Amino acid sequence: MEAPKDPDSNPSGIDDSELELYTIPSHSRWFVWDEIHETEKTALKEFFDGSSFSRTPKVYKEYRDFIINKYREEPSKRLTFTEVRKSLVGDVSLLHKVFIFLENWGLINYGAPSTHTGDNLAAKDEERCKVRIEGAPNGVRVVSTPNSLKPISVPRNPRSTGDAVSSSTAYKLPPLASFSDVYGDFMRQKELTCGVCSDICDSGHYKSIQDDFVICVKCFKNGLYGEKRSMDDFKLLESNENSGKHGAVWTEGEILLLLESVLKHGDDWELVAQSVQTKNKLDCISKLIELPFGELMLGSAHRIGNNNSANGVVNGAKQVQSSSSDQQETSKTEDHICEHTNENAQNGDVKQSPSKRQRIDSLSDSSCSLMKQVGLISTVVDPHITAAAADAAVMALCEENLCPREIFDAEEDNYSNDSFFSNLNGYSARALESEGSEVERSSQSEMRDRSPKKDDIPSTLRIRAAIATALGAAAARAKLLADQEDREIEHQVAIIIEAQNKKLQHKIKHFEDLELLMEKEYAEMEELKHSILTERIDVLQKTFSAGISRWKDYPPMKS
Amino acid sequence: MKTPASAFYRNPVKFRIPTADNLVPIRLDIEIDGQRYKDAFTWNPSDPDSEVVVFAKRTVKDLKLPPAFVTQIAQSIQSQLSEFRSYEGQDMYAGEKIVPIKLDLRVNHTLIKDQFLWDLNNFESDPEEFARSFCKDMGIKDPEVGPAIAFAIREQLYEIAIQSVVSAREIRMSKKGRRGSDNFSVSKGGAVAVDLVKLFGPKSSVIRKRKEWDVYEPIVDLLSNDEVDALEAKEERAFRLWLRLTSPSPSSLKDIPLIFIEKKK
């Protein structure tokens, strides 16, 4: 052990060189030298149920402290159970249990070269927090870095020399923050903290060449290099470089890929990370958490949708003006996209996935042209409803923009055309499977019909009208569905009530039958009783007439 | 497995192997026509006895032994099992009991000497697990060592359990016989349990004194081929001698399988 064993031999002035830095996993931050934590009590309850003389809390604490100290004499070496047990008195099975417990929690052999659990430990390495130990076992204090946030152990009793007191003032524990508490591990990657003053290095930092020890610029300038390090060991790293290195920048495509794979694989982050490819697991998780949902999400989806569809319209217009082969090509791609949309919609119907996923769904659709979506939605409901919705939307827009309704008139024709068209289609093949093709046809026709004529109407206005139409149509559809559902429920309830009624009636009938039976039985019983009585009287009379005394009858009966 | 507190003080434990699995250590040492078969394994006493013959047949087939071995093996196992069962249901001991276990065994090229304490009331103990971590910690590669250690522990625990039953019976008898005389010396032959008050009392520490560490430290030696040969020859000689000495005399509990052999001869 590098630090002196006896706390008294350690003078109260502490420099970093006299502090030992140990690493324990952050999930073991409950550990305190002076106390026995609940975790320990539940895991090793035989020590605490008072069942045995040889298993007491005191014995446990001695075991624990000894094993941990033994390990810390040489943290780089893996401590084995066989090494420990020779020094401890007690049942080896029990000692083994304690040893395994400590090892599992990382209080010993954490980060030591392992023989069997190498992969595990390497994975856990990222969620480390630091433990400071000063010299003696009892003086050990556990101090968290800003990222672990909770103090692992605030020195409770300053009895162990002056060290604890002076050092506790020397290191300030950062305030709690709930977000980073929960996502501290992800934060870590982006925010580096100074190893000396524990501040966040936002501007840039110096990194030790030998290991990952990091200090901030301020500390570097002040000459605080941390224990056993000199100025030459450090290399300046700019924060930009750092953020770039961690791949915090996500392209739209990557986000899309992420969302799609989350939809596909759910919580299985390994698979998600695999399909995203360019990002690792942690990145994926943190990105998904960062992504806004709810209102924000919808808003962004709209924005993206707007942009996309505006482009699409422009493109469409161009292509219509250009050769027809181009047109064919676009319609082909459109087909593809629409099929995709339809598929998604069907999935949504079948799975009834939670709101989060559905939102992702809608976002991932945003790559598809908005017009196609509108087309899809409006064919889901009856054409006249679509027409009404479109009408209402146009009205509202006209009022809002103070523009004459006439500019939409041409469009109106189109809408009626459309609705007629889809009317025909809709009634001929209403089945869900064929809907995709139907949509695609109707939307194609929409495009073809409209694009050449309506260059005079501002495209944004048209898009807004289309969106409003779609929303209206969707709402109508929803209303229809809800109504149908309502009727269904009513019907079911009626059936249930009827069934219950029938059941009750059957029961009543059954009871009536029973009653009849009982009455019959009762009558029979009465009759029987009567006959027995008469018989008895008859017998008695006979005996009397025969002149036999009744007292003589009884003795033989008794014996 | 949670046992209510202080249950051990009042209720005597019924006979069983004081480990998590109640497995009987079975040792076979059979010689027919100059061919010797030695083996050691554990047997679950709650298995149906029909398994014994199946096992014997299988073993003979796997090891390509002469068929005469089948009955020998089956009989040997059966008799050891019935001996175990004869103790079942009897009171073993009451109260706490921690005993020292001493290992001194040779498996192929590995020589192991060790000693440690074993709590007879810890019914979660697992000799196999202990042996596994022992081999891992000591870097023992030979796969036969672990089972041998576990078996040695089980054998000793079994021995202690039998002694405990006998001594528990003695105590009952003596209490019936001469009431009032409390100063009866208990279990001369029984395993000497450690003094719990001395070891776990409020004054003592469970951490051993440094000079005692060596005593409780396991010693593992790897022998050379010559040493192994020499040792084996010695053991063989001792075995022959012992065979000659013991064969005419009737049973001693331990050596039932050998006696069967003698009868057949």
What is the extent of the structural domain holding A208? 191-245
A278 CB contacts (<8 Å, ≥6 apart)?
A247, A254
- Looking at the structure, tell me whether residues A156 and A196 fall in a common domain: no
Least confident of A204-208, A281-285, A497-501: A204-208
**In terms of C-beta density within 10 A (0-12 exposed, 13-18 middle, 19 or more buried), how is residue A433 classed?**
exposed
Residue A382 included in any domain: yes
Residue with tokens 């508490």: A181
Is pLDDT at A45 greater than 50 in this prediction?
yes
Please indicate, yes or no, whether the overall pTM of this predicted structure exceeds 0.80. no
**Interface mutation target, options B99, B122, B124, B209, chain A, most CBs of A under 10 Å:** B122
A43, A74: one domain: yes
What CA–CA distance (Å, rounded) separates A37 from A142?
Answer: 15
- Separation in Å, CA of A113 to nearest CA in chain B: 13
Task: Please give the structure tokens belonging to residue A312.
Answer: 């699409």
Residue B34: per-residue pLDDT = 82
Model confidence at B52: pLDDT above 70: yes
Residues in chain B: 265
CB contact under 8 A, A89 and B199: yes
SS3 sequence of A136-156: CCCCCECCCCCCCCCCCCCCC
Question: Of B117, B138, B210, which is closest to A91 when you measure between CB atoms?
Answer: B117
- List residues of chain A with CB under 8 Å from any CB of chain B: 45-46, 49-54, 56, 58-59, 62-63, 66, 80-83, 85-94, 96-97, 115-116
Q: Among residues A462, A482, A502, which one ends one of the domains?
A: A482
CA distance A104 to A98: 10
pLDDT of res. A316? 40
Task: Tell me the pLDDT tens digit for each residue of A344-377.
Answer: 444 444 444 343 333 434 444 444 556 666 666 6
Give pLDDT tens digits for B198-222. 777 767 777 888 777 878 888 888 8
Q: What is the pLDDT of residue A348?
A: 41
Cα distances (angstroms) measured from residue B127 to each of A87, A91, B107, B159: 20, 12, 17, 15
- Within 8 A of A63 by CB-CB distance, chain B residues are 206
Nearest to residue B56, comparing CAs of B45, B42, B72?
B72
> CB B206 to CB A59 under 8 A?
yes
Print the SS3 string covering A300-344.
HHHHHHHHHHHHHHHHHHHHHHCCHHHHHHHHHHHHHHHHHHHHH
CB pair distance less than 8 Å for A82 and B134 = yes
Provide the pLDDT for residue A19.
Answer: 55
Residue A134 inside a domain? The answer is yes
Total beta-carbon pairs less than 8 A apart between chain A and chain B: 104
pLDDT greater than 80 at residue A105: yes
Number of domains into which chain A is organized: 3
Do A229 and A103 share a structural domain? no
Q: A387 and A298 in one domain?
A: yes
What does chain A come to in residues? 559
Those residues whose C-beta lies under 8 Å from the C-beta of residue B29, and which sit 6 or more positions away, are B36, B37, B38, B39, B257, B258
The answer as to whether A181 is a domain residue is no
Q: Is there a single domain that holds both residue A197 and residue A301?
A: no
| Packing angle of the helix pair A294-321, A435-453 (nearest 10 deg) | 60
Provide φ and ψ at A87, rounded to 5°: -100, -5
Mean pLDDT of chain A: 63
The continuous run of DSSP H or E covering A467 comes out as helix A459-546
Which residues of chain B are at the A interface, by a Cβ-Cβ cutoff of 8 Å? 2-8, 96, 98, 101, 116-119, 121-122, 124-126, 129-130, 133-134, 136-138, 196-197, 199-200, 202, 205-208, 210, 213-214, 216-218
- Asked if A80 lies within 8 A of B137 by C-beta distance, the reply is yes
A53:B197 CB<8 A = yes
E-strand spans in chain B? 13-14, 24-32, 35-43, 91-93, 98-107, 110-119, 219-222
Residue A81 has pLDDT above 90, yes or no: no
A82 and A145 housed in the same domain: yes
A156, A195: one domain: no
Average pLDDT over residues A236-263: 64
Chain-chain contact of A50 with B5 (C-beta, under 8 angstroms)? yes
3-class DSSP assignment, residue B20 = coil
Do A142 and A199 lie in one domain? The reply is no
Give yes or no: residues A310 and A216 share one domain. Answer: no
State percent of chain B over pLDDT 90.
7
Give A57 to chain B, closest Cα distance, Å.
11
CB atoms within 10 A of CB A336: 12
**Spatial distance between the Cα atoms of A180 and B78, rounded to a whole number of angstroms:** 66
Task: Evaluate if residue A502 carries a pLDDT over 90.
Answer: yes
Rounded CA gap, A118 and A122, in Å?
A: 6
Q: Is the predicted pLDDT of residue B245 greater than 80, yes or no?
A: no
In this structure, are A339 and A383 located in the same domain?
yes
B241 CB burial (10 A radius; 0-12, 13-18, 19+): exposed
Among A457, A482, A507, where does a domain finish?
A482
**C-beta atoms of B129 and A51 within 8 A:** no
A171 and A298 share a domain?
A: no
What is the distance between the alpha carbons of residues B209 and B193, in angstroms, rounded to a whole number? 20
Give B2-30 pLDDT, tens digit per residue. Answer: 444 444 445 677 788 888 888 899 999 88
The answer to whether residues A72 and A1 touch, using CB atoms and an 8 Å cutoff, is yes
* Domain assignment present for A180: no
Distance from A477 to chain B by nearest Cα, in Å?
60
A299 and A389 within one domain: yes
The confidence band for B178, taking pLDDT boundaries of 50, 70 and 90, is: low
Beta pairing class for A19-25 and A128-134: antiparallel
- Inter-chain contact B96–A53, Cβ cutoff 8 Å? yes
Final residue in a domain of this structure, among A442, A459, A482: A482
Residue with tokens 């706490």: B96
Residues A340, A343, A348, A354, CA torsion sign:
negative
Q: What is the DSSP string of B105-163?
A: EEETTEEEEEEEEEETT-TT--HHHHHHHHHHHHT---TTHHHHHHHHHHHHHHHHHHH
Rg of chain A over CA atoms, in angstroms? Answer: 42
Six token digits for residue A434: 């064929």
Tell me whether residues B118 and A92 touch, CB distance under 8 A. yes
